[in-house]
Amino acid sequence: MIVVQSTQKLFDWRNQISQNSKIGFVPTMGGLHSGHLSLIKKCLLGSDLSVVSLFLNPKQFSETEDLKTYPSNFLEDLKTLKELNVDVVFAPLENEIYADDDYFSVVENKISLLLEGNSRPSFFPGVLTVVSKLFNIIRPHNAYFGKKDAQQLLLIKQLVRHMKYPINVVECDTVREEGGLAMSSRNNYLTKEDRSLAKIIYLSLLEAKKTLSSGEHRCVLIKNHVTSILKNEKKITLDYISIANVHTLEEFVDIVDDDALISIAVLVSGVRLIDNVFFKKQ
């Protein structure tokens, strides 16, 4: 396994790779957990050469968010990636990605303004900017992203399409803890009691999907059902519950009449968590 911190050295490595070799890429911010590992394993199976980035991207954190305390363990991550037989780890310093005079950003002006973008306005410009830079540096054939961050996944697919990147975006299923809590680096902030409590997030989404599948397609009733499940939990604060078109993320106003993404954002003892399920209209 090669560990590269310099952008130029990554360029040098990439330029000597045969055109016949298929490169797979998994971008991460470190603090690897089972969700990341599922992406990496899929990458290893579908690629001749694998690249994993470890870069805690400051541009996607607001001033009030947890950049300084975000869970990470660089040496442990390297050990894990070596055991998986990853070919290259790209772990750049911040000044390798963002120069002092770098005032560029990649902004999407529709989908990124909804859901997470409404709650965290600096988040998606930061994500799209760093992913664009990483794509330019690594030039992968396949890039692997999880469905757990469904809005991000949709935006990355749109980025690839509209910016003409010759990259195949591979969608990967959400990995869950026992009880259903979606794997996330921020789960490390939760106490054992909070983790047990947080399984209700996924259960409420399953109830919403079950309600839709049973033939009840009125949005207000479905959202009220989810809210009623969560409201008795004093440690849980609901940010939003959304039922949106899976292709555009436009909210269904009255009736769900197409494939839908049911997504939720909550705070569990102050820790912000997101999750989602997909509903396919018969």
Task: Give the pairing type, strands 23-28 and 260-268.
Answer: unpaired
The DSSP symbol for 167 reads: -
The DSSP symbol for 148 reads: G
Asked if 36 is an active-site residue, the reply is yes
| CA distances to 39, 55, 84, 130, 224 from 95, in Å | 27, 11, 28, 12, 47
Sign of the alpha-carbon torsion through 94, 95, 97, 99: positive
Query: b vs e for 137-170, b when ≥16 Cβ sit within 10 Å of the residue's Cβ?
Result: bbbbbbbbbbbbbbbbbbbbebbbeeeebebebb
Q: Which of 36, 141, 162, 247 is catalytic?
A: 36
- The burial class, CB within 10 Å (0-12 / 13-18 / 19+), for 45 is exposed
CA distance 271 to 275: 13
Q: Residue 241 in contact with residue 164, Cβ under 8 Å? A: no
Q: Which residues are catalytic?
A: 36
